[in-house]
Chains A and B, each alone.
Chain A
Amino acid sequence: MTFNWSGKRRWVALLLLIAGFVVMLTVPPVIPVIQLPGEVWPNGWMTNTLAASIIVWILLILLAFYTRGAMPKGSNEVPRGGFYNLFEMAFEGLYGFVRNITGERYLRYIFSFFMTIFLIVLLSNWIELIPGVDSVGFLHARAQSDPATGAVEVEEGFELNTVLPGVYALDPDCPWLSPEETAVMTVEARIAREQQNCATGTTRVIEGPEALVAGAEHELEPAADSESAEAGVEAAATEAAVAHEGAVTGDTEGAVEEGGRIDEAVEPDPEAAETGEPQEERLEAVHAPTGDPRVPWHIIPFLRAPSTDLNMTAALALIAVVMTQVLGFRALGIGYLTKFFNFRTLLTSPLGGIDVAVGLLELIGEFARILSFAFRLLGNIFAGSILLFVMSFLIPFLPWPFFILEFFVGIIQALVFALLTAIFMNLATASHHAEDEHGHAEEIPVEASAVGEMTPAHP
């Protein structure tokens, strides 16, 4: 900690820049398979968005302990500098911000939700900016089983390059070709693929690494035959993915014996794959060892920004909206319901029917808020993360302006989510008795308070 960093950070930055160039040149980016729900890890239940949100929680807990410890104990103690001061400044700024909106009465209740939501959403958004998130992950044989027939259908994917022992990268020059496509491939196309160092499908079979050969005698797991075909196929696919995951070496030995089966005798024969025992043949294709040209590979990222998962955003939206109603009942008692079922003026006023309709619209509006909260955050951050990796793919060396853009989008979306929660909570505490006198003025209470503050300055 006593190391003097002044003047040296620029060299670190330069080194990182050069490392980025080297990585870009040796491992060219491949446009990933874009999927709206979180991708499931090979262990079968953990999604990568859940893994990232666990990291967010751990970071938040650490932040809580850190600020607790760094807080000045007495009034005489000088606060610690650095990150604590930054956090305190942001915290105080936001506290004043919320106080301007809500006033003093329910400030603690509203601000606790405001700040919690702000921090969670902020970290969930910023996780997408870390290099490697969304791009480093498990290798997975891209196959889809047909629920009706049980046949495994392999989809598009890429062949593998070995970067380091045990670490693989998708090869952007070698999109995977199905046996049907290789069967009708022209000689020129075959030569072109051979020059790119890609498999041509019929000329050679790449054998697996030494570790996989050990499991060669091991027969296919009987699960695929005994159970329903679909379940067996899915299990096989995940096993294969675990077996060929390079980065997690601990899992490899156990899984290889189950999943890594090498079929050296079988040349990739298109006719056999198509006609003779299609299910059996294609199952073997899914089980094929690393580097087998017959298998299309894609990547299941270890981590993905939690805000790109509808589960997370919808959960936050539900919490925000439900706790708004709780605060409404706390502030106004059972009378809070008259906001939605407003029959008081039905018989006394000629426009009473409109009040009823407005109340029902408010009720619908509460449910619309859940959707709007959830989809606003999801859409912004998901589009942002797609933007980031598509830009890395299109403009290899210059995705950084988009990282800056996404940095600010992350702040703004976190602020918008938290601010809207605070405003809706403030709305819920607004009394309805004033409504009779001022019409519907407090439907937009922020504006009302703004007008109230502005009047003194007004000439």
Chain B
Amino acid sequence: MEEAVMLAGKAIGAGLAMIGALGGGVGIGLAVGGAVQAMARNPDFSSTIQTNMILGVAFAEAVAIYALVVSLIILFVL
């Protein structure tokens, strides 16, 4: 019984932790959307824009990855 409650708590906690991925998703969407618009307007600078886009996406993704790591730690380490 105790273990079952603990497992349920872990599952709920891991699920709640992944709410943090929401922000990362929105951020990546905005970044890539803006970058694609910029590239469509000015294709000559695609490579520069792409570099900056990958950088921004990596930063935005990092937050979501923190949420993922917290969730993985809750599930498999705790």
Chain A residues close to B by CB (< 8 Å): 34-36, 97, 100-101, 372, 375-376, 378-380, 382-383, 412, 415-416, 419-420, 423, 446-447, 450, 453-454, 457
- Bitwise interface map of B from 34 to 75 toward A, beta carbon under 8 Å scored 1, else 0: 000000001011011101101100100110011011001101
A378 and B76: CB pair below 8 A? no
A376 and B65: CB pair below 8 A? yes
A382 and B72: CB pair below 8 A? yes
Answer whether residue B77 sits at the interface, using C-beta atoms and an 8 A cutoff. yes
Residues of A within 8 A of B75 (CB): 34
Does more than half of chain A's interface fall in helix, strand or loop, or is it mixed?
A: helix
Residues of B within 8 A of A454 (CB): 42, 45, 48
Q: Which residue of the partner chain, among A376, A383, A412, A447, contacts B52 with CB atoms under 8 Å?
A: A447
B65 and A379: CB pair below 8 A? yes
A36 and B47: CB pair below 8 A? no
Q: Which residue of the partner chain, among A100, A380, A412, contacts B47 with CB atoms under 8 Å?
A: A100
Bound-complex Cα distance A143 to B24 (A): 39
Min CB distance B58 to A, Å, is 4
B55 and A36: CB pair below 8 A? no
A375 and B69: CB pair below 8 A? yes
Q: Which residue of the partner chain, among A34, A97, A376, A453, contacts B58 with CB atoms under 8 Å?
A: A376
Given contacts A36-B77, A100-B47, A375-B65, contact A446 B72 (CB under 8 A): no
Residues of B within 8 A of A420 (CB): 55, 58
A419 and B69: CB pair below 8 A? no
Given contacts A35-B76, A376-B62, contact A415 B54 (CB under 8 A): yes
Residues of B within 8 A of A415 (CB): 54
Query: In the complex, given contacts A36-B73, A419-B54, what are 17 additional A-B residue pairs having Cβ atoms less than 8 angstroms apart?
Result: A36-B72, A100-B48, A375-B62, A376-B62, A379-B66, A379-B68, A416-B58, A419-B51, A419-B55, A420-B55, A423-B55, A446-B55, A450-B45, A450-B49, A450-B52, A454-B42, A457-B44
| 21 cross-chain CB contacts under 8 A | A34-B75, A34-B76, A35-B76, A36-B72, A101-B51, A379-B65, A379-B68, A379-B69, A379-B72, A415-B54, A416-B58, A423-B55, A446-B52, A450-B45, A450-B49, A450-B51, A454-B42, A454-B45, A457-B42, A457-B44, A457-B45
User: Interface extent on B, as a size class?
Assistant: 20 to 34
Which residue from chain B places its CB closest to the CB of A383 in the assembled complex?
B68
Residues of B within 8 A of A36 (CB): 72-73, 76-77
B45 and A453: CB pair below 8 A? yes
Bound-complex Cα distance A453 to B45 (A): 9
Bound-complex Cα distance A34 to B72 (A): 10
Min CB distance A449 to B, Å, is 8
Residues of A within 8 A of B55 (CB): 419-420, 423, 446
B54 and A416: CB pair below 8 A? yes
Given contacts A36-B77, A375-B66, A376-B62, contact A450 B72 (CB under 8 A): no
Min CB distance B30 to A, Å, is 16
Given contacts A100-B48, A457-B42, contact A383 B54 (CB under 8 A): no
Which residue from chain B places its CB closest to the CB of A447 in the assembled complex?
B52
